[in-house]
Amino acid sequence: MVESVDEREEGAVAAALASLLRRRAERHVLQAARADLADLLRDTRLAASGVSAPGAELSATGIVEGYVSRPDLDELVADYLLVPGGGQGNVILHVVPESADANLLHGSVPWLFVAADLADHHGPREQVAALRIVRNALSHAPGES
């Protein structure tokens, strides 16, 4: 069941995340063969995020989303025969420079990045999941009891 979220609260969270984290990575929407999605999601060059993040608690089997380093982008595109997907792609790659934090590129995407990636989808399930992550992060913030 999807939680009810006040539209103003939903919009405010999405706008704040987008503003604060807008420069986190370049967003590439691509298309892959459906049969390749599971292998792509398991590829060690990809750090799952957004709808593909395990903690997002979304069932999105028809799409892969994650972070990849700039040097690995061309290899992933070639290995999985990815093509530009326009607005209808099933692969969303957030491309970060090689100098990005090593944890980000090896599976530890910060939860607020995951929430921002979810907010970028603009769908109600993704918005609720993003809001849940933000609420959880705020309830566990340093200095909170």
Distance of alpha carbon 84 from alpha carbon 75, whole angstroms: 15
Residue 2 lies in a domain: no
What's the confidence (pLDDT) of residue 105? 64
CA distances to 101, 117, 125 from 120, in Å:
22, 5, 12
Residue 103 lies in a domain: yes
| % of the chain residues with pLDDT over 90 | 34
Q: Has this prediction a pTM greater than 0.85?
A: no
| Structural domains of the chain, count | 1
Residues 30-54: tens digit of each pLDDT? 999 999 999 999 999 999 999 998 8
Assign 144 to helix, strand or coil: coil
Distance of alpha carbon 96 from alpha carbon 98, whole angstroms: 7
Residue 42 lies in a domain: yes
Lowest mean pLDDT among 10-14, 47-51, 57-61, 133-137: 10-14
> Per the structure block, which two tokens stand in for 99?
């100098």
Domain span including residue 99: 7-139
pLDDT > 90? residue 28 = yes
Residue 44 lies in a domain: yes
Mean pLDDT of the region 50-72: 86
What's the confidence (pLDDT) of residue 102? 62
Residues 6+ apart with CB under 8 A from 92: 27, 28, 29, 30, 50, 63, 64, 65, 66, 117
Residue 145 lies in a domain: no
Residue 129 lies in a domain: yes
